[in-house]
Amino acid sequence: MFEGSLLTIDVGGGTQDLFLWEPGQTMENAVKMVLPAPTRVVARRLQRLTAQGQAVFLDGRVMGGGPITGAVRRHLARGLALAATPQAALTLSDRLPEVQQWGVVLADEPPPDAATLTLGDVNLDSLGQVFNDFEVPFPGHFAVAVQDHGFDPQGSNRRFRFEYWEDFLSRGGLLADLAFFDPPPRFTRMLAVQKTLPGALLMDTCAAGVRGALLDPQARARQEEGLLVVNLGNAHTFAVLVRGERLWGIYEHHTGLLTPAKLFDHLTRFQAGELTNDEVFAEHGHGCTYAPDYPWTTRSGLTVITGPQRRLARGWPGGHFAAPLGDMMLSGCFGLWVAFLEKEKISVKLIDGLE
């Protein structure tokens, strides 16, 4: 019997989205938040210390980089000292000698007079304060999504990440296999979250968004026919060919490199099985791959679109902007929610209108 509440956290490049599920409460009355992404929060704190001329020490665990990496480089360019533990420094790059060449000093303890910034994709202290201030009991269960390239100190992170998706399709591509209580060792960000939240369910943000979008009524009605699902995130665009409970094709690119025209071209050829892995990678995306037994003749004309940059797909023929459980912005959280219920064998039948 499930007791307490479940907090789902979808950690993206622009925002972190939170949804608190309590059995028996309607979705409309649930606690929901859309906040700046942790990497942006830490970057802003570092920028403030840079402006003050303060030396900085980074500790904590590996997390999403992006804005943090840029803030570190600007800090060092000012001639200011910055040290980091090896674990925290992996946020900047898998190649620690390269990080040291930037001027980052690896250390286990903070240098004298350095201000400490603690890294991590989940900040329990901040969350605890918010729940306490609003008289909401702290949740006893967690499901978290992060965008994880995996750890590859030698080769291409983009290639390394997409090799996992190729292997995923070769193993059957089941939707149920997109969520983990024990993530593969390659996924260092997931493992870092696991240390912060033992027992949490973990997913990739791209996969969580897709899983949540499939809860949209139109998607559920036509999932057995076959769908194209497109998750246009702030950092990554992830599209999949879905039929029933299985993924049959995966495409991933960097959203910032896409225009509507390029996106439409890629999606058209992806649906037709004509877009190649090498082409996407050469354009600085991640890749494109298909299951060898994909039943091309069973595709429907519906494309389900989600994500904060979904405007890029406006005008796509047969496109439908997903609103799972009535909320466009929380697709990833709802994907985490339904994956958790499935893993814990909690029936979703008749819960909040899911029949």
Q: Is the pLDDT of residue 232 over 60?
A: yes
What is the pLDDT at residue 169?
93
Q: Where are the beta strands (DSSP E) in 77-151?
A: 82-84, 105-106, 115-119, 141-146
φ, ψ for residue 300 (rounded to 5)? -95, 175
* Cα Rg of the chain, angstroms: 21
What is the predicted pLDDT for the residue at 158? 73
Domains annotated for the chain, with CATH where assigned, are 38-119 (3.40.50), 222-322 (3.30.420)
User: Per the structure block, which two tokens stand in for 147?
Assistant: 């965008």
| Cβ neighbours of residue 169 closer than 8 Å, sequence gap 6 or more | 247, 248, 249, 250, 289, 290, 291
| Tokens, residue 204 | 């990739």
Residue 354 has pLDDT above 80, yes or no: no
pLDDT for position 327: 87
In this model, does residue 350 exceed pLDDT 60?
no
pLDDT of residue 349: 56
| Residue pointed to by tokens 């930037």 | 102
Across the range 132-158, mean pLDDT stands at: 86
Q: Tens digit of pLDDT for each residue in 46-63?
A: 999 999 999 999 999 999
Instruction: Give percent of the chain with pLDDT exceeding 70.
Output: 95
Residues in the chain: 355
Give the mean model confidence (pLDDT) for residues 275-299: 84
Per-residue pLDDT tens over the stretch 152-193: 667 677 787 888 888 999 999 999 999 999 999 889 999 999
For the beta carbon of residue 341, count every other beta carbon within 10 angstroms.
19
| Terminal-to-terminal C-alpha distance of the chain | 21
What pTM was computed for the model? 0.92
pLDDT of residue 23 exceeding 80: yes
Paired with 154 in beta bridges are none
CB atoms within 10 A of CB 77: 11
